Amino acid sequence: HLTSVKDPKGLTTTYAWDALDNNTSVTSPDAGKTTRTFDAAGNVLTSTDARGKATTYAYDALNRKISETRAGGPNVQFQYDQGTNGIGRLTKITDGTGSTAYSYDANGRIIQKLQTIGTLSWKTSYAYDAGGRVASVTYPSGTVIAFGYDAAGRVVSAKAGAQNLFTGATYAPFGGVVGWLQGNGNAYTRTIDQNNRVTGFSVPGRSVTLTYDAGDRITGTAVNAGAAKAYAYDALARLTSFTAGTIGQTYTYDAEGNRLTAALKNGITASNFTYAFPSTSNRLASVGGAATETFTYDASGNTLTDAPSYAFTYDDRGRLVSSKIGAIIKTYGVNGLGQRVSKTDAATPSTNIYFVYDEAEHLIGEYNSTGARIEETVWLGDLPVATIQASGFFFVAPDHLGAPYQITNASKAQVWLWDHDPFGTDAPTGSLVYNLRLPGQYYDSETRLNYNYYRAYNPKLGRYSQSDPIGLVGGINTYTYVEGNPLSRFDTAGLSDGIITVAPPPTPTPTPPPTPSSNAPQSADPLTQCGKDNPTGPPERAPPTMGNQTPFARPNPPFPGDGPYGQPFPNVPIEDAPIITDSGMAGNPYPSAQGPLGGRATATQPIGLRIPLPYPGTFNPMHK
């Protein structure tokens, strides 16, 4: 067993194991010490973090997790086998925010998800065609999104009633989507080179080109063949400079990837910042510039204060649950799947916002204090393609990362543009309000942080406000964002990043959905599947993809709860095991509940090593 890892800063992470190969403790300079106990079946019985916050788990006779109990909450209960076609499947989750209930058809596919918070509820429904593909999704507002497919089983169109959202989607020979016609008649196209890299994209009035060096790093971008933006990197592929005419950013780093200095120039204005870190961790202590910003942390490495402006609190499982900015206090509700489903303000309840996700964890809707729609987003794979708001239908054109770049209205006019700097600090321009940012992120105006599923990302600092929940699996520095290369990498869940590439086309025949037992190998991390239960490693699987050709496909990071045969990796918090889409053969999706997985920790290697996937140039979930 691996017992310790020393990083370039000289900091050591240690691991302890019992005689049955269970990882009983992890001691991290960033996240402190986490300890675990196990039952005779190898399920995690208790987990206690560095703050002393303990979680107790219970399982049924099939080793399915049935409850999580914490002294300070949230407590979660999981129910199985209820209702029509519910045998062997997760049917309800009850937690501190409310409940989520699932209904299935005779083939074990989700046909309805009902999310309830207090007196409000939101229903998402799925219908399938004769080939088992998602034919339509009924959003909580009642809007029905119908999908059309080509002979190869790839999505080529979507419409809401009589309104086309996109038509004529086309694909490269190796499978990645390369364009479509928006519902207002505007064309969106992407170009992809022989190395599966996005080399450009075109939206109304703007044609963007990207250039790469031999290391697959983006060295330049240009709009309409105008003046190029130039980017430079150090030997570890960390962004060191960005220049665009009179605008520029320059960064330096320590050996661990922590940002040490930043020089920012905006025309005639220049600002210089220095970043200070203790010798004992990678927790940012202060940022010095025209004013000094200081940070404090709890024992688990969660940011408590960002002085002088912000204060944060976390629940017993380490999730951000409130922020305080002056007199404004926002409370965040996180459900049993780890999804943030509400943002509320006791002083002004009319401003409360509720969130609904699809089965691939994409945000599909925001709803107001009465439960009515604020906006709903339609996705093609991991690419946002349309947003539906009270003022009508709007059409989204994504950038090379899959982040929204431009939004146009029914009259083809641009109403929103986010031509952002590398770390995403710029605000969008335009009359429309739309809060999606970098892939997997949602902008919170009250904190100026981006919610990124398991953590919050701070664009101004280019780092997360919490230590990585999966520890060193996500990279040697548990706070940095995508190892300092935000132009070519993205992190959809705040865990581990992907690279902007496309993938081979899927086989259109779906596989049967997995059961919510503790022995489902679906979506497990490729390295941590190797252990005493699976010494030969994982079965070969198709790589995930940017812009897949199915409604619900997404890059496949090592979700918490996924380890050998679906068991949680030793350094992963099992309480957040999500429901995920069964990707099926070669990524052909098919919504079904995997459910909360059992709590065994049996991997013989407690951190991820840099290993290649079987497809060159594709997303490697072991890279942060």
pLDDT tens-digit series, residues 541-554: 222 233 333 444 43
Write down the pLDDT at residue 21: 95
Once rounded to an integer, what is the mean pLDDT over residues 317-327?
97
Give the 3-state secondary structure of residue 285: coil
CA distance 528 to 601: 10
Rg of the chain taking only CA atoms, in angstroms: 23
Residue 280 burial by Cβ neighbours in a 10 Å radius (0-12, 13-18, 19+): exposed
151 Cβ contact list (under 8 Å, min separation 6): none
391 Cβ contact list (under 8 Å, min separation 6): none
CA distance 533 to 604: 10
pLDDT tens-digit series, residues 357-378: 999 999 999 999 999 999 999 9
Higher pLDDT, 267 or 307: 307
Of the candidates 172, 188, 600, which has an alpha carbon nearest to the alpha carbon of residue 396?
Answer: 188
Extents of the domains making up the chain = 4-587
Q: Which two tokens stand for residue 367?
A: 């709803």
Give the 3-state secondary structure of residue 385: strand
Locate tokens 């038509």: which residue? 167
Residue 37 burial by Cβ neighbours in a 10 Å radius (0-12, 13-18, 19+): middle
Q: What percent of the chain has pLDDT over 70?
A: 80
- Residue 466, Cβ neighbours under 10 Å: how many? 27
CA distance 44 to 66: 13
Asked whether residue 577 carries a pLDDT value surpassing 50, the answer given is no
**Pick from 464-478, 487-501, 557-571: least confident:** 557-571
pLDDT tens-digit series, residues 244-300: 999 999 999 999 999 999 999 988 899 999 999 999 999 999 999 999 999 999 999
Residue 515 binned pLDDT confidence (cut-offs 50, 70, 90)? very low
End-to-end distance of the chain based on CA atoms, in angstroms?
Answer: 23
Write down the pLDDT at residue 531: 28
Q: Which two tokens stand for residue 195?
A: 């190395």
DSSP secondary structure letters along 469-529? TTGGGG-SSSSBSGGG-TTTEE-SSSS--EESB--PPPPSSPPPPPPSSTT--TT--TTTT
pLDDT tens-digit series, residues 167-205: 999 999 877 899 999 999 999 999 999 888 999 999 999
Write down the pLDDT at residue 611: 23
CA distance 217 to 230: 11
491 Cβ contact list (under 8 Å, min separation 6): 439, 440, 452, 457, 481, 482, 497, 498, 557, 624
**Beta carbons of 31 and 467 less than 8 angstroms apart:** yes
DSSP secondary structure letters along 290-354? SSEEEEEE-TTS-EEEEETTEEEEE-TTS-EEEEEETTEEEEEEE-TTS-EEEEE-SS-GGG-EE
Write down the pLDDT at residue 264: 96
What does residue 483 show for φ and ψ, rounded to 5 degrees?
Answer: 55, 30
Write down the pLDDT at residue 223: 95
Write down the pLDDT at residue 389: 98
Once rounded to an integer, what is the mean pLDDT over residues 330-335?
98
pTM of the predicted structure, to 2 decimals = 0.84
Write down the pLDDT at residue 81: 97
CA distance 559 to 573: 10
445 Cβ contact list (under 8 Å, min separation 6): none
Once rounded to an integer, what is the mean pLDDT over residues 65-82?
96
Residue 81 burial by Cβ neighbours in a 10 Å radius (0-12, 13-18, 19+): middle
pLDDT tens-digit series, residues 23-44: 999 999 999 999 999 999 999 9
CA distance 105 to 199: 42
Higher pLDDT, 531 or 52: 52
Write down the pLDDT at residue 499: 66
Asked whether residue 516 carries a pLDDT value surpassing 60, the answer given is no
Write down the pLDDT at residue 501: 57
CA distance 546 to 177: 9
pLDDT tens-digit series, residues 104-147: 999 999 999 999 999 999 999 999 999 999 999 999 999 999 99
Asked whether residue 530 carries a pLDDT value surpassing 90, the answer given is no
Once rounded to an integer, what is the mean pLDDT over residues 342-357?
98
Write down the pLDDT at residue 443: 99
**Mean residue pLDDT across the chain:** 83
Residue 236 binned pLDDT confidence (cut-offs 50, 70, 90)? very high
Residue 226 burial by Cβ neighbours in a 10 Å radius (0-12, 13-18, 19+): exposed
**Beta carbons of 561 and 90 less than 8 angstroms apart:** no
Locate tokens 């691991």: which residue? 15
Locate tokens 């986490």: which residue? 34
Write down the pLDDT at residue 586: 25
What does residue 364 show for φ and ψ, rounded to 5 degrees?
Answer: -105, -10
Which residue type does 517 have? S
**CATH code that applies to domain 4-587:** 2.180.10.10
What does residue 350 show for φ and ψ, rounded to 5 degrees?
Answer: -70, -15
DSSP secondary structure letters along 60-102? -TT--EEEEEETTS--EEEEES-STT-TTSEEEEEETTEEEEE
Strand pairing report for 206-212 and 340-344: unpaired
Q: In what order do the strands lie in the sheet with 449-452?
A: 442-444, 449-452, 455-458, 463-464
